[in-house]
Structure 1
Amino acid sequence: MKTVVYTSDKKTHFFQELKSIYRDIKSSNFLAYQMTKRDIQSQHRQSLLGFFWILAPVIINSLIWLFLNGSGVVNVNIPGGIPYPVFVILGTTIWNIFAEAVQSPITSVNTGRAIISKINFPKEALLMKGLYTLLFNLAIKMIPVVAILIVYQVVPSWNLLLFPFYLVALTIFAFAIGLIITPLGLIYTDISKVLITGIPFLMYITPVVYAAPKVGVFKFLFNLNPLTYIINDTRNTLVGVETQSLLFTVILTVISFIVLLIGLVIFRKSMPIVIEKIAG
């Protein structure tokens, strides 16, 4: 049997690395698809409620805020003309997509810990597996979105054509963040715990279940948060409201894509060190 020794002393040009990454992603695409299919089947085969668990975070979080608002415990500020159930379900769904995309790289590679040090295969296949799982879950999460729009007879405008772009922009932004921190997250489990703890906190300074405040320190925090603009506009494309920050989103997407490419190279170059730590 051939023995493969992982080393990190190979010096290559940044764009040469990107070219190699592209080749490996292309060659391992079928492997990533098969791993995704296997994981989805294993997760839901013995589950009584099946795919409902993909929707559970969205539904439960939305019901909590609908109850709090309906009972008068909190007085939620939302833009005029949008029914609150529509506002909160769309916002929670979009936020859940972001949260899952941030955690996707580190989660998908973590699930492959048992094999990455024993089997020689392109480790980018694990990232692709995470992306395919994310896309599958996204398709399921669109079900309550379509349902709530039909129930409340919300008619989107031509801005609906921008919805796929905003979803791609949000996914690239989130995936790039997750990819950059993945090498450290594989070595130090604290990173995953910080993500699990920090992402729900971040939701409260993002217009997910209520609109951005117009005065005070929280207005400053909301304005400082790039997710404010993406999530607002993503929701606006579905409810027929004009988008407000298209240029900002375009610029952020370009920057995120560059960060994503850098993250891929860092991931590739750091994997020998990570594998050594895991195996050791």
Structure 2
Amino acid sequence: MVHLVVDADKRSRLLNLKELLHYRDLFYILAYRDLRVRYAQTFLGLLWAILQPLATLAIFTIVFGRAVKVDTGGVPYPLFAITGMAAWTYFAFVMKESGNSIISAQGMVKKIYFPRLVIPLSKAVVGFVDFGIALLFMVILMLVYQYPLVPQLIFLPIFILLTIFSALSVGIWLSALTIRYRDFQHVVPFLVQFGLYATPTAYPASAIIDNLPKWATVIYYLNPMAGVVEGFRWCLLGGVPPSQYAFLSFSLVVVLFISGLFYFKRVERVMADIV
């Protein structure tokens, strides 16, 4: 029998990978539970994961593709939009679900010990359902429009990882902050709504930054998903590579992820008392 002693006063390392691996079964169970609960007792079930991106794509196509007629560099607009939506949908889901994850699991947090980081990390797995469906739509549209594969496709794994880390970095921060400041439960939906239009999802980044002064462009790319979406679209569709300012977004993802782990571990010691 393994005896586990939990000492709240003992300083722990930033990330104990061995401990996380030890609780991997709990990680799988939480992810599987969320997948089942998400579509439990719904008439359409998994079809909701298909209808939601289709509805958003239809609105974007009508508003930005037909009415505004944004310049996509010769790429069919539905294909242009779905590539941005794939990355953004995953980010938005993980950010929203992770932000309230600890509060939602407070009963379990108060009763038993386990690395609390397992909870927001499990949300990243659930988000792959929407991410995978969006990528499937993208492949279908590429076949419909007979859009060729581009050499930049080899960089796709890098930008998928950046998307995952970007979502987790914000999600981990929000999950820890929401415990101390419950106002963040109301802030997260606003961030999702605002971020959808502040990120070059439905339009190219050049449509914004070409009309901005340098200081405003820097602020624009402080959105961690601005550079990630731009790079994600570039490695799938080719065209103009990400702006030089995109590295601000990439750097911010790293800073947010590392600092988020530090802050989460700090709050974790008193999480059961304040949740």
Q: State the TM-score, normalized to the length of structure 2.
A: 0.83
| 1:225 and 2:220 matched | yes
| 1:273 and 2:266 matched | no
Judging changes above 3 Å, is the alpha-carbon distance between structure 1 residues 196 and 7 closer, same or farther for their aligned structure 2 residues? farther
| 1:25 and 2:20 matched | yes
- The answer to whether the 8 Å contact 1:155/1:240 transfers is no
SS at match of 1:17: coil
**Percent of aligned pairs sharing the same letter:** 21
Render the CA deviation track for 1:130-176: whole Å, top value 9, x for unaligned. Answer: 12212343223322121111111111211111112112112212311
SS at match of 1:18: coil
Question: Paired residue for 2:234?
Answer: 236
Question: Paired residue for 1:127?
Answer: 120
Alignment partners' CA distance in 2, 1:149 and 1:219: 35
Any runs of at least 4 consecutive aligned residues in structure 1 with deviations exceeding 4 A, and if so which?
4-8, 217-223, 245-249, 251-255
Question: Paired residue for 2:61?
Answer: 66
Alignment partners' CA distance in 2, 1:215 and 1:265: 37
* 1:38 Cα deviation after fit: 2.1
Alignment partners' CA distance in 2, 1:81 and 1:71: 14
* 1:218 Cα deviation after fit: 8.6
Judging changes above 3 Å, is the alpha-carbon distance between structure 1 residues 170 and 220 closer, same or farther for their aligned structure 2 residues? farther
Question: Paired residue for 2:110?
Answer: 117
* 1:234 Cα deviation after fit: 0.7
* 1:264 Cα deviation after fit: 2.1
Alignment partners' CA distance in 2, 1:261 and 1:215: 32
Alignment partners' CA distance in 2, 1:228 and 1:18: 28
Aligned partner of 1:50: which letter? Answer: G
Alignment partners' CA distance in 1, 2:209 and 2:176: 39
Q: 1:81 aligns with which of 74, 79, 96?
A: 74
Judging changes above 3 Å, is the alpha-carbon distance between structure 1 residues 266 and 68 closer, same or farther for their aligned structure 2 residues? closer
Question: Paired residue for 1:205?
Answer: 198
Aligned partner of 1:86: which letter? Answer: L
- The answer to whether the 8 Å contact 2:88/2:229 transfers is yes
| 1:48 and 2:46 matched | no
Alignment partners' CA distance in 1, 2:197 and 2:215: 13
| 1:162 and 2:158 matched | no
Judging changes above 3 Å, is the alpha-carbon distance between structure 1 residues 57 and 225 closer, same or farther for their aligned structure 2 residues? farther
Would you say how many aligned residue pairs link Structure 1 and Structure 2?
267
| 1:98 and 2:91 matched | yes
- The answer to whether the 8 Å contact 1:160/1:238 transfers is yes
Q: Which moved more, 1:215-224 or 1:56-65?
A: 215-224
Render the CA deviation track for 1:169-202: whole Å, top value 9, x for unaligned. Answer: 1221231122123222123331121121122213
- The answer to whether the 8 Å contact 2:95/2:174 transfers is no
- The answer to whether the 8 Å contact 1:187/1:274 transfers is no
Aligned partner of 2:232: which letter? Answer: T
Judging changes above 3 Å, is the alpha-carbon distance between structure 1 residues 136 and 57 closer, same or farther for their aligned structure 2 residues? closer
